[in-house]
Amino acid sequence: MGTEMAGYYWPIVTATAVVVISIAAPLLLAEVFPWRNLYKQRNAKLTVTAKSFQGKTVLITGANGAFGSRAASLIANRGVDTLVLVDVKDCEGVKSKILADISGPNKPNILVWQVDMLSYSSCQALAKKARELKSLDHVLMTAGILAFKPRKSPEGWESSIQVNFLSTALLALLLLPLLKSSPSNPASPVLTFTTTFGVYPSSLTMSVPKTGSYLGHLNNTKDGMIQAHQYGRSKALLLYFARELANRISRAQERGIQKVTVNSADPGSAWTPLTNPNQAKLIPRLIMDFSARDPMTCATALVNGVSATENTHGKIVIDYDLSPYPPFMERKSGRAAQQRVWQETKAEFKKKVPEVEAIYRILDGE
């Protein structure tokens, strides 16, 4: 009888398992691996949507990197008036190459500035220098690091959290009052952060502690698997910050503050000096082999993001489309985490960078 009953129930158990797996697998993939987006990005054929940057001023951080330097070239070849190349490394080589590639007498004014994104004071110095600019139509934030070993910044934070999140957020706040459209530009200025699909797998390690600092909880100091997720975690923090910043700018605009479009652009993935160390790691290499595309295509996606229209405000731009936020960010817990990130970041900056207090007063409606 036992054998007969087992034979009766086995097909039911098997069918139930198949149904559960067929439902659970897509849900799990949606949480940790957006393969549809990656596949679509890999096969996308992109062109720069902006016909001209004539008369405009564009600032690019990470301008010596694979994406930033190519984005700079694309913008320079479309008649930009002033192009500001910013990186921890000297961008004179990038400048020389751009100018050499442009035929004809109408070459842009290219400024080469440096910033150490591990340091708040260096970000402050860069923002002070940016006051020299008569206008600032577009800011493209591509600066970032992929740290395979935990390292502390002079500010006391793990280097990925410092560069990819805190210093990028600080620089955005400091540049915000300086964003001003040039006389020939009828559109509002655009500030674009760079995001990544890496926020999806990092969500598994983004839980919020019941007590204590959330940023401190994510401030990893140990080697191992957690450090492997630090890039995605830092970008997830930045995505939280970007969305909240856009929300607060919208409310400030209702009080008469100038319009600014804030969005996040996902360039997709490519083999670059930043990602090449992953060649030696099986899983990262398989993911990159599935999704990687030409770095110039990635740069094109970023240029399209920073030249996008006001309808992208507070949104994620992937190639020609607007993309939803990752599922974990859309839940009630994600919205609560976003407020934690905003408030803790505010406390950190107000303690160490006093000039942001006036900016927060405007954003918070105080």
Look up the CATH number of the domain holding residue 109.
Answer: 3.40.50.720
Q: Is residue 24 part of a domain?
A: no
Structure tokens at 225: 């698997």
pLDDT of residue 277: 81
Which of 189, 186, 322, 316 has its CA nearest to residue 261?
189
How does pLDDT run across 182-233, given as a tens digit for each residue? 999 999 999 999 999 989 999 999 999 989 999 999 998 777 777 888 999 9
Q: Is residue 294 part of a domain?
A: yes
Helix axis angle for 66-76 and 92-101, nearest 10°, is: 40
Dihedral over Cα of 308, 310, 315, 321: its sign: negative
Q: Is residue 125 part of a domain?
A: yes
Which of 364, 337, 299, 229 has its CA nearest to residue 47?
299
Which of 240, 220, 244 has its CA nearest to residue 160?
220
Which of 143, 328, 147 has its CA nearest to residue 228?
147
How does pLDDT run across 245-271, given as a tens digit for each residue? 999 999 988 776 789 999 999 999 998
CA–CA dist 323, 356 (Å, integer): 31
How does pLDDT run across 28-42, given as a tens digit for each residue? 566 777 778 887 888
Q: Is residue 15 part of a domain?
A: no
Which of 250, 305, 248, 297 has its CA nearest to residue 269?
297
CA–CA dist 298, 288 (Å, integer): 14
Residues 6+ apart with CB under 8 A from 279: 271, 285
pLDDT of residue 88: 97
CB 137 within 8 A of CB 57: yes
Q: Is residue 147 part of a domain?
A: yes
pLDDT of residue 28: 56
Which of 77, 80, 119, 73 has its CA nearest to residue 94?
73
How far lies 162's CA from each of 230, 308, 365, 366, in Å?
11, 28, 27, 28
Q: Is residue 3 part of a domain?
A: no
**Low pLDDT (below 50) residues in the chain:** 1-2, 5-6, 8-10, 12-25
Total structural domains within the chain: 1
Give the domain extent around 360: 35-364
Helix axis angle for 230-254 and 332-352, nearest 10°, is: 80
Q: Is residue 28 part of a domain?
A: no
Q: Is residue 17 part of a domain?
A: no
CA–CA dist 216, 231 (Å, integer): 16
CA–CA dist 116, 26 (Å, integer): 41
